Amino acid sequence: MRGLDHREVETIRGKVLLPSGDAEEMCISYTSTILKISRTCGEAEEMPRKTLIVPGGIDIHTHVRGAQLSYKETIETASAEAAYGGVTAFFDMPNTIPKIDSPSRVDDRLREFEGRSLIDYGIYSGVPRSVEHVEAIENKPVAGFKIYPEDLEEENSDVIQRVYRSSKLKILHSESPKALAVQRSIRVASTWMELAPLYMARGRIHVTHITSYTAILRALSQGFTTDVTPHHLLLDTESGCMDKVNPPFRGPVERSLLWKALDKVSCVASDHAPHTLKEKMQPYDHCPPGIAAVSFTVPFIYTLAYRGIISFRRALELVSLNPARILGLDGVGVLKPGYRANITIIKFDEWRYMTRFSKTVHTPLNGFRLSATVYRTIVGGETVFSEGDIHGRYPGVNMLDRASR
């Protein structure tokens, strides 16, 4: 803990999604942590009709940008967009400029986040250049290592083998290095390129933005955890630069199979990857891949639950409980006394999704009809988003630094 919590106790009352998946009328009292969940209470703020109090969303895969890429997105704008989408913690990939792949750059990145994020956060390191750097980074409060296709070009190097042996989580972009060198049409059709790295990976592996049903089954058979993105569930093909993304869309057959796998994957992640409109307006062969969608995931998943496509228990697993388990986070992921007061309040209303606070306002998901919106987002007991507006004073902490929590 960061010291004694002198804030006044706040209490809200409404329908609460319990760890069992049941929703009951309850009261939640909290400061920075949840103090009490009970069926009766004294004075409390009543939540509106058609709302549901749920654990805060956890996004295991985002590109927050900042540093020399601040013209695309900053920690402030990314965390505001995340809060708007009910995300109370996000985890940042290392492919910034400069790349986060050494102990000193890890330290610099963590300092950059301090006092700038509306929500809780964590960072990954890239694969370092030496075994000594792997061992130094292991002792820092990072979520793990990100393994990109280009890192697999030297599969037998001492460094990548040491990363595999690390007790830290390894986030694997499972595509063969050959995928980076072939024509995009070949890459789209070659699901074997997603399968190949799975046979070489070992240890504590999480396979991210997986796009084929076969790869999901293979990953699960090896004891790996997995995630899919909303855009790979919703889009078939790339019609232009706006929906160009890596790994690419695999067509309608693979997309339909991803829906079949929604009861098998561990979680859903946004792979939030903002770019400027100018960059996305370049010719197709030159425009950067990526979709900004950090605010879409939680409303989308609770829309599926509201419409009866998945259970509310499964929604809780996909966006809160399982991400916390994969990352090894204690005290978040469900609503329980003693847990951090990271709370999202969903309101069930029909609306069309739009980005709001990100620097990226154009995405292929804009205009998508949803049945769930975010009424309020609470991080460490502080309201950071409510009824359309951003609030708070950047209360986010590094979820891997126990001293800050």
* pLDDT value for 1: 40
In this structure, the strands spanning 34-38 and 23-30 are antiparallel
- Name the residue with tokens 């409980």: 321
For CATH 3.20.20.140, list the domain ranges present in the chain: 57-327
Number of H helices, E strands in the chain: 13, 17
Average pLDDT in the 69-98 region? Answer: 98
pLDDT score for 141: 98
In the predicted structure, residue 57 carries a pLDDT above the cut 80:
yes
CA distance 291 to 63: 10
| Known active-site residue 271 | yes
Q: Where are the extended beta strands (E) located within 94-155?
A: 120-126, 144-147
In contact, 278 and 71? CB cutoff 8 Å: no
Strand 87-92 to 205-207 pairing: unpaired
In angstroms, rounded to a whole number, what is the distance separating the alpha carbons of residues 355 and 362? 8
pLDDT tens-place string over residues 88-143: 999 999 999 999 999 999 999 999 999 999 999 999 999 999 999 999 999 999 99
Q: CA-CA distance, 227 to 66, in Å (whole number)?
A: 25
Strand partners, 207: 172, 226
The mean pLDDT value for 216-240 works out to 96
Whole-number pLDDT of residue 358: 98
**357-368 tens-digit pLDDT:** 999 999 999 999
- Is the N-terminal amide bond of 247 cis, ω within 30° of 0? yes
What six digits make up the tokens of 173? 């972009």
Rg (CA), the chain: 20
Residue 3 has pLDDT above 60, yes or no: no
Provide the residue type at 90 as one letter.
F
Virtual CA dihedral for 395, 335, 205, 91, nearest 10 degrees? Answer: -20
pLDDT(4) > 80: no
Q: Count how many residues are written for the chain.
A: 405
Residues of the chain with CATH 2.30.40.10: 10-53+337-404
Catalytic choice (59, 151, 227, 271): 271
Distance CA 248, CA 326 (A): 25
Q: What is the CATH number of domain 10-53+337-404?
A: 2.30.40.10
Strand-strand pairing, 343-352 and 369-379: antiparallel
**Hey, what are 206's tokens?**
């999480």
Distance of alpha carbon 57 from alpha carbon 335, whole angstroms:
12
Predicted confidence (pLDDT) per residue in 144-161, tens digit: 999 999 999 887 799 999
Per-residue exposure over 54-83, b if at least 16 CB sit within 10 Å of its own CB, e if not:
bbbbbbbbbbbbbbebbebbbbbbbbbbbb
Dist CA 192 CA 217 (whole Å): 13
pLDDT attached to residue 265? 98
Query: Tens digits of per-residue pLDDT, 243-264?
Result: 999 999 999 999 999 999 999 9
- The verdict on whether omega for the bond into residue 283 sits within 30 degrees of 0, i.e. cis, is no
Is the pLDDT higher at 180 or at 82?
82
Q: What's this model's pTM, rounded to 2 decimal places?
A: 0.96
- Tokens 């419409």 -> residue: 307
Quote the CATH superfamily of domain 57-327.
Metal-dependent hydrolases (3.20.20.140)
Q: In three state form, how does the secondary structure of 340-383 look?
A: ECCEEEEEEEEEECCCCCCCCCCCCCCCCEEEEEEEEEEECCEE
How far from each other are the two terminal CA atoms of the chain, in whole angstroms? 5
Residue 182 CB-density burial (10 A; 0-12 exposed, 13-18 middle, 19+ buried): middle
User: CA-CA-CA-CA torsion for 260, 263, 265, 266, nearest 10 degrees?
Assistant: 170
- The token pair at 195 is 């399968």
